[in-house]
Amino acid sequence: MSWIDSHCHLDHASFEHDLTAVLQRAMDDGVSKFVVAGTAFHQWDNQQALEQKYPNIYNAYGIHPWFCDLHTEEHLEQLDDRLDDAIAVGECGLDLMPNKPDIEKQTFWFEAQLALAKKHDLPAIVHSVKAHDLVVRSLKKVKSSRGVVHGFSGNMQQAQALIDCGYFIGIGTRLIKTHSDKAIALLRELPLRHMLLETDAPDGMGKDVRNEPKELILVANIVAKIREQAPETVLDTCSQNAKELFDI
Ligand SMILES: [Zn+2]
């Protein structure tokens, strides 16, 4: 079984000088497939170049809600063209934290990308921060039936609403680092067959620390400890889920 980091940003500038070493460290620990989620149009060529260089990088292309104001409808056409070579659409979604683009605008870009995912029969990679109910509303409106809500930070009831839409729940460093009662309760209850593991590297480890895909093992260890299961069981099942969702 090759373990899969189901969400990272290896096209980020912080990996520019040592990505080969970063990937090797991950592979030495058994993490050997990497799903790179797109964030904005100006990164798409860079992502494509990485995929050509490294055969175990798999690209999703999309427009992150934080950056939707940088885009015009022409970019949606460009995205449409790129999706023939993609494993998913995203990351797209909704974010209700302060100082983010207007929620109506975010919703337009989110639903437009969900529609593209349907058109190309691809799963969607969804970013949802303090917006789970609105995300579910958009998924139902567009009849989106396949994807993952990555870096999930909600409770089991919110997770179940997403599972009912056919979505996986992406568990990463951010949730497990909180050690909140809510996070622990979710990790105990959420069935493994609905869970994906991710690092969100270089994010997810705090402000000044660059996260790396090898930390997927750390995520799995913490999830396994809370669930009183073997880390390999968590890694195997979640990687199998990712393999099926993204067809990689
Ligand atoms: Zn991300």
C-alpha of residue 8 to centroid of ligand 1, in Å: 6
Fold of 3-246: TIM Barrel (3.20.20)
C-alpha of residue 63 to centroid of ligand 1, in Å: 11
Mean pLDDT of 137-143: 97
Mean pLDDT of 51-62: 97
C-alpha of residue 86 to centroid of ligand 1, in Å: 16
C-alpha of residue 201 to centroid of ligand 1, in Å: 8
| Closest by Cα among 3, 61, 68, 71 to 36 | 61
pTM of the predicted structure, to 2 decimals: 0.96
- CA–CA dist 114, 163 (Å, integer): 16
C-alpha of residue 73 to centroid of ligand 1, in Å: 22
pLDDT at 207: 81
C-alpha of residue 108 to centroid of ligand 1, in Å: 19
Asked whether residue 55 carries a pLDDT value surpassing 90, the answer given is yes
C-alpha of residue 40 to centroid of ligand 1, in Å: 11
C-alpha of residue 90 to centroid of ligand 1, in Å: 9
C-alpha of residue 25 to centroid of ligand 1, in Å: 21
C-alpha of residue 210 to centroid of ligand 1, in Å: 14
C-alpha of residue 194 to centroid of ligand 1, in Å: 19
pLDDT at 80: 98
Mean pLDDT of 165-180: 86
C-alpha of residue 112 to centroid of ligand 1, in Å: 19
Asked whether residue 161 carries a pLDDT value surpassing 80, the answer given is yes
Q: SS in 3 state form for 199-225? A: CCCCCCCCCCCCCCHHHHHHHHHHHHH
C-alpha of residue 142 to centroid of ligand 1, in Å: 22
C-alpha of residue 172 to centroid of ligand 1, in Å: 10
C-alpha of residue 149 to centroid of ligand 1, in Å: 10
Asked whether residue 178 carries a pLDDT value surpassing 80, the answer given is no
C-alpha of residue 60 to centroid of ligand 1, in Å: 11
- Residue-wise pLDDT for 189-227, tens only, equals 999 999 999 999 999 888 889 999 999 999 999 999 999
C-alpha of residue 195 to centroid of ligand 1, in Å: 16
Mean pLDDT of 67-78: 96
Mean pLDDT of 80-99: 96
Neighbours of 48 (CB within 10 A): 16
pLDDT band at 81 (very low <50, low <70, confident <90, very high): very high
Asked whether residue 102 carries a pLDDT value surpassing 90, the answer given is yes
Computed over every residue of the chain, the mean pLDDT equals 95
pLDDT band at 173 (very low <50, low <70, confident <90, very high): confident
C-alpha of residue 91 to centroid of ligand 1, in Å: 7
C-alpha of residue 24 to centroid of ligand 1, in Å: 21
pLDDT at 205: 87
